[in-house]
Structure 1
Amino acid sequence: MSMQCSSFIATSLDGFIAKTDGSLDWLNAANATVPEGEDCGYAQYMAGVDVILMGRKTFETVLGFGAWPYDKPVYVVSRQWSALPAGAPATAQLWKDSLPALCTHLAASGFRAAYVDGGQLIQSFINAQLLDEITITRIPVLLGSGLPLFGPLADGTSTVAAQHLQTRSFDFGFVQSDYRLHYTAAGQ
């Protein structure tokens, strides 16, 4: 059984997922314009995944939201931590090994679809050629600088082709696109 790894993430129009200090105030302000009951496909996306993978910084951010928003198992990927912090939900566990080993472990455990969350983790999954699909919701705001969604490609990967699957636009200005990723090794 193989794992399908995907991401569902918002960026500013200029491609940033957070301000330089990690702040999401711009995203919270944009979300305030979304009509009540509209989730831009998030519930449908989450219904299709059975495990969540997140980086350490994203995990810390989500812990700061107050009530834990997930009822699915969560693997926190961090080589810096030796244990999860106090107050971590019982559904979360720490993963310190490689990303390919994580995907193998998850598949062997019966998981079929993983939600990869967090900018650095998404970049790491792309560099390991493990991210299969990505949904990007572009928010109509320019930040000018911040934490980018994408970064340099790892050695050995010359391109990542993003096959467009569909795009939806919302009356409140959000534009959401789904892509399937195809990896090409350097020299091919």
Structure 2
Amino acid sequence: MPNFVFIGASIDGYIADRNNKLDFLECIPNPENVDFGFQDFMQSVDCVIMGRNTFETILGFGGEWHYSKPVFVLSSSLTSVPDKLKDNVEIMQGEINDIITALNKRGFSRLYIDGANVIQSFLKKDMIDEVIISTVPMLLGGGTKLFGMLPAHLSFEHMETQVLLNALVQTRYKRKKE
């Protein structure tokens, strides 16, 4: 029952700038509106797990909801979601292991993990199986770090790297269990 990360980051490892903005992700012209494999990736997962900050950031984009798969928001402070999302979004609380067990029992086994805090929490429990990072050629010098402190080293095996739009570097790693 694998857990996946698919995320964009700056060269210095930030996924949002100091103002919690994601504008840097669009610094490379994309005239053909290439999705960098995101739609194929989304077809391969059963649901999305994200934290409150990521959820609120996505809501701030406005327009149509970005996910066709069920979204589970991990939050101890949110009590509801907008009415238009009640069929697609559910708030969950508790220990990560218990949440994963509950989702697996509901038939969700291939999980997309999104948002710095949630990704870091899963990594601390060694519960990330694959990471796909699209590196944007920009240094932000501060903001929201993708990775944080871990209780132990985690080894990953390089699976593939590709250059997108002659600028972005997308690298896929798989967890190497000893």
TM-score range for the pair, normalised by the shorter chain length: over 0.9
Conserved? CA contact 2:81–2:90, under 8 Å: no
- Cross-structure match for 1:169: 163
Relative distance call for 1:95 and 1:12 in structure 2 (3 A) is: same
Contact 1:34 1:172 in 2 (8 A): no
Q: What residue in structure 2 maps to residue 5 of structure 1? A: 3
What's the RMSD between the two structures over aligned residues?
Answer: 1.5
2:89 counterpart of 1:62: no
Any residues of structure 2 matched to 1:119-130 within 5 Å, and which? Answer: 119-130=116-127
2:30 pairs with one of 26, 29, 34: 34
Q: 1:16 to 1:165 in 2, by over 3 A?
A: same
Does 1:180 pair with 2:177?
Answer: no
Structure 2 CA distance for aligned equivalents of residues 159 and 44 of structure 1: 30
Map of 1:35-184 to 2, 5 A cutoff? 35-66=31-62, 67-81=64-78, 83-87=79-83, 89-90=85-86, 91-153=88-150, 157-182=151-176
Once residues 38 and 56 of structure 1 are traced to their aligned partners in structure 2, the CA distance between those partners, rounded to angstroms, is: 28
The answer to whether the Cα contact below 8 Å between 1:54 and 1:116 also exists between their aligned partners in 2 is: yes
Per-residue deviation, 1:37:
4.0
Dislocated runs of 4+, deviation >3 Å: 85-88
Gaps of at least 5 residues in structure 2 are none
One-letter amino acid of the counterpart of residue 25, structure 1: D
Percentage of matched positions with identical amino acids: 36
The answer for unaligned runs of 5 or more in structure 1 is none
TM-score (norm 1): 0.88
Q: 1:182 offset after TM fit, Å?
A: 3.6
How far is the alpha carbon of 1:171 from its aligned partner? 3.5
Residue identity opposite 1:158 in structure 2: A
Alpha-carbon distance, 1:134 to partner: 0.6
Query: 1:87 and 1:16 mapped to 2: Cα distance?
Result: 32
- What TM-score, normalized to structure 2? 0.92
- Aligned pair count reads 176
